[in-house]
């Protein structure tokens, strides 16, 4: 299914999301759906949060995140290995 973007150019804003776990990925998806420019930061190298790093692979398959077509098609960017508040500031 193709995701549809809503809103005009004038409504478009930049959004930074700290944490690419299920909550951050969900927020990114819906913000991108509204046409906003979304960048996700996470301390871990890959998105998925505890679903990727806390749960064994046989319990949860690791096919989540901006590597997934539903996010990358919508232009969501991901920057891993970045702890906000340590590697970059909260205000940058
Ligand atoms: C061992 C274990 C087993 C589980 N089993 C199940 C299960 O079977 N079924 C189920 O439904 N749920 C399970 N859960 C729960 C599920 O993993 C959580 O409910 C879910 O991951 C919460 O999502 P979240 O996005 O809120 O937080 P998280 O998944 O914790 O993601 C938060 C992300 O934010 C990042 N982050 C935090 N602070 C910063 C910062 N300052 N800068 C950059 N990045 C930051 C972290 O690195 C992390 O990747 C399990 C959890 C654990 C720990």
The two structure tokens encoding residue 50:
């505890």
Best residue for ligand 1 mutational test, from 27, 49, 66, 88 (most atoms within 8 Å of Cβ)? 49
Q: Does 86 reside within a domain?
A: no
Please, which residues have CB within 8 angstroms of residue 72's CB and are 6 or more apart in sequence? 66
**pLDDT tens for residues 30-44?**
999 999 999 999 999
Residue 2 has pLDDT above 70, yes or no: no
Domains held by the chain: number: 1
The CB of 65 under 6 Å from ligand 1? The reply is no
Band (75; pLDDT cuts 50, 70, 90): confident
Q: Which two tokens mark 57?
A: 């692979």
DSSP character at residue 1 = -
Residue 9 in tokens: 């150019």
CA distance 48 to 10: 31
pTM of the prediction?
Answer: 0.87
User: For residue 18, what pLDDT is reported?
Assistant: 98
User: Can you give the CATH number for the domain in which 44 is found?
Assistant: 3.40.50.720
List the residue whose alpha carbon is closest to atom 1 of ligand 1. Answer: 54
78 close to ligand 1 (CB < 6 Angstrom): no
Residue 59 belongs to domain spanning: 9-79
How far is C-alpha 26 from the geometric centre of its chain's CA atoms?
7
Q: Is residue 48 part of a domain?
A: yes
In this prediction, residue 52 has a pLDDT band, given cuts at 50, 70 and 90, of confident
């Amino acid at each position: 299914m193709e995701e549809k973007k809503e809103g005009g150019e004038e409504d478009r804003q930049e959004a930074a999301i700290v944490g690419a776990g299920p909550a951050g990925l969900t927020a990114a998806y819906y913000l991108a759906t509204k046409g906003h420019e979304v960048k996700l930061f996470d301390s871990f190298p890959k998105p998925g949060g505890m679903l990727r790093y806390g749960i064994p692979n046989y319990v949860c398959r690791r096919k989540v995140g901006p590597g997934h077509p539903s996010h990358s098609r919508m232009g969501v960017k991901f920057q891993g290995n970045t702890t906000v508040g340590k590697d970059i500031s909260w205000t940058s």
